[in-house]
Amino acid sequence: MTDKMVIDHVGIATDDLDDLSELYTELFGAEIAHTETFDGMNVEFLAVGDAYFELLEPLESTGAIASYLDGNGPGLHHVAVATDDIEAALAGAAEMGVDLIDEEPREGAWGHDVAFLHPKSTGGILFEFVEH
Amino acid sequence: MTDKMVIDHVGIATDDLDDLSELYTELFGAEIAHTETFDGMNVEFLAVGDAYFELLEPLESTGAIASYLDGNGPGLHHVAVATDDIEAALAGAAEMGVDLIDEEPREGAWGHDVAFLHPKSTGGILFEFVEH
């Protein structure tokens, strides 16, 4: 990889986004960077230094985050690594034998291109590549 | 909080540190920043941009990470937020009613001062304050 990657955000599943946002704002001096409704969820990016907490609150009883909350309760959902070239990052991952959830980048929250890797290939962690 | 906090690292429980280190080095261009044996674990900090993955592999069958692996399997364990004043950060958290696992900072890996917050107070996430 010649690409310089950085830890971009930690995705957090919550059933009370407003409450958690207020807590992290006070506890960590986090600042609201972006808020939207995306894919049946309230989504908020909270900046802490150069990285973010991405709070994800489902508005419907179906979908990945709603299922996660049902199975695990609120908590850490995924870790996103930013790249300048998501196509190259995905191709590199595939070449290494990492199982891709998304074979091609798709539009994620905040208008970013995103693609997820399967946790069984990456030490039990759901990773996301993100290109801003 | 006047303190400028940043997301410092994501702690990852693993039963095969060397394998995961090699994978993340190739997948994310991560660089080994620090390795040590600490508190009955192999610990490695992998730099990705200005933040780290902290890989934690127990050498004994007891302890927090061994228990975590038994109950959950490998994966995301905690998120650490760096502060310039961990005493003030802890005092602020206590004042907000957040349950502290560590009432006082203690020595963590890499010689850093650390203190953990109880996940039941923080949206289901085990947070660590760390002062370098």
Q: Is residue B65 part of a domain?
A: yes
Q: Is residue B1 part of a domain?
A: no
Whether B48 and A5 have beta carbons less than 8 Å apart is answered as: yes
Tell me what percent of the residues of chain A surpass a pLDDT of 70: 98
Confidence label for B1 from pLDDT (cuts 50, 70 and 90): very low
Please compute the mean of the pLDDT values over residues A107-118 and round it to a whole number: 97
- Separation in Å, CA of A59 to nearest CA in chain B: 18
Contact B75 A125 (CB under 8 A): yes
User: From B72, which residue of chain A is nearest by alpha-carbon distance?
Assistant: A124
Q: Is residue A1 part of a domain?
A: no
The CATH number linked to B71 is 3.10.180.10
Residues A60-74 pLDDT 10s? 999 999 999 999 999
Confidence label for B3 from pLDDT (cuts 50, 70 and 90): confident
Q: Is A4 exposed, middle or buried (0-12, 13-18, 19+ CB in 10 A)?
A: exposed
Compute the distance between CA of residue A60 and CA of residue A52 in angstroms, rounded to an integer: 24
Domains in chain A, number: 1
Compute the distance between CA of residue A106 and CA of residue A127 in angstroms, rounded to an integer: 15
Q: Is residue B30 part of a domain?
A: yes
What is the domain extent for residue A47? 6-131
Query: What integer best gives the mean pLDDT of chain A?
Result: 96
Give the residue ranges of DSSP H helices in B4-54.
Answer: 17-28
Please compute the mean of the pLDDT values over residues A93-107 and round it to a whole number: 97
Q: Is residue B29 part of a domain?
A: yes
pLDDT at B97 over 90: yes
Q: Write down the ipTM of this complex.
A: 0.96
Residues A13-33 pLDDT 10s? 999 999 999 999 999 999 999
Instruction: For Cα atoms A100, B10, B106, give the angle at the middle one, nearest 5 degrees.
Output: 160
| pLDDT score recorded for residue A2 | 53
Residues of A (68-127) whose Cβ lies below 8 Å from B: 72-76, 79, 81-82, 92-93, 96, 98, 119, 122-125
User: Which residues have C-beta within 8 Å of that of residue A40, sequence separation ≥ 6?
Assistant: A58, A59, A60, A62, A63
Q: Which of A3, A23, A74 sits opposite B29 (nearest CB)?
A: A3
